[in-house]
């Protein structure tokens, strides 16, 4: 297997795009090569099989969704109140929605994971790590709400992002904004002042 990390990342990014556009059934070595704009056979030089592309694409989505250090630092600065938590939740929704192919690819990967134990294992590990990181960050930050509120926000915001990407006209931007604020208020038990 080839080890050029930039080429591997570009191939995985192409696989994410294929998953988002064509679904898991459309993911082939040929489709990845085409989407990446590389010669036919390139993906097969980097991945042993389709299963490996699927599992590594799942890993790659999470790599690309990690917030940068400035966002994490901003969350720890200033007041630790409901308004700050709502601000952070808006940032999460915007950051994830700004990478629609990643979110849609994850949906395809989750469906595929119901039939592929190895993929299910990878996604379970990544989602658990994401939840643990979010809960740990929240506890460190001193923001309102407990770990159950964090998990509940994570679940609700994921569905809100799904609606935004798949049925964009269901809620207006103002309605989505108000829903995030309402979720924070209700799940932390601290209504807006």
| Range 159-168 burial, b when 16+ CB lie within 10 A, else e | ebbeebbeee
* pLDDT value for 1: 60
Query: Residue 164: what pLDDT?
Result: 96
pLDDT at 121: 93
Give yes or no for a contact between 109 and 176, defined as CB atoms under 8 angstroms apart.
no
**How far is residue 57's CA from residue 4's CA, in Å, rounded to a whole number?**
16
Beta-carbon count within 10 A of 148 CB: 10
Residue closest to 17 by CA, chosen among 92, 96, 103: 103
**Residue 47, number of CB atoms within 10 A of its CB:** 23
CB-based contacts of 31, cutoff 8 Å, min separation 6: 18, 22
- Digitized pLDDT (tens) for each residue of the chain, 193 residues in all: 667 999 999 999 999 999 999 999 999 999 999 999 999 999 999 999 999 999 999 999 999 998 888 888 888 888 989 999 999 999 999 999 999 999 999 999 999 999 999 899 999 999 999 999 999 999 989 999 999 999 999 999 999 999 999 999 999 999 999 999 999 999 998 555 5
Q: Can you tell me whether residue 39 is helix, strand or coil? A: coil
Cβ distance 13 to 65 under 8 Å?
A: no
pLDDT score of 72:
85
Q: At a CB cut-off of 8 Å and minimum separation 6, what does 91 contact?
A: 67, 71
Does the global pTM surpass 0.75? yes
- Distance separating alpha carbons of residues 36 and 123, to the nearest angstrom: 24
- Give alpha helix (H) positions in the chain: 5-22, 29-36, 42-46, 50-65, 69-75, 82-97, 100-113, 117-141, 147-166, 173-188
């Amino acid at each position: 297997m080839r080890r050029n990390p930039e080429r591997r990342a570009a191939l995985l990014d192409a696989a994410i795009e294929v998953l988002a556009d064509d679904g898991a059934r459309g993911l082939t070595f040929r489709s990845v090569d085409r989407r990446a704009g590389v010669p036919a056979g390139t993906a097969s030089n980097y991945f042993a099989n389709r299963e490996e592309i699927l599992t590594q694409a799942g890993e790659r989505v999470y790599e690309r969704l990690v917030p940068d250090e400035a966002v994490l630092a901003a969350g720890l600065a200033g007041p630790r109140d409901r308004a700050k938590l709502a601000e952070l939740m808006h940032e999460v929704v915007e950051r994830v929605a700004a990478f629609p192919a990643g979110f849609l690819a994850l949906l395809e990967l989750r469906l595929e994971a119901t039939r592929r134990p190895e993929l299910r294992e990878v996604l379970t590990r990544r989602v658990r790590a994401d939840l643990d990181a979010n809960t740990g960050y929240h506890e460190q930050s001193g923001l309102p709400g407990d770990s159950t509120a964090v998990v509940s926000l994570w679940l609700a915001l994921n569905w809100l992002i799904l609606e935004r990407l798949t049925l964009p006209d269901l809620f207006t931007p103002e309605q989505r904004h108000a829903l995030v604020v309402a979720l924070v208020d209700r799940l932390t038990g601290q209504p807006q002042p």
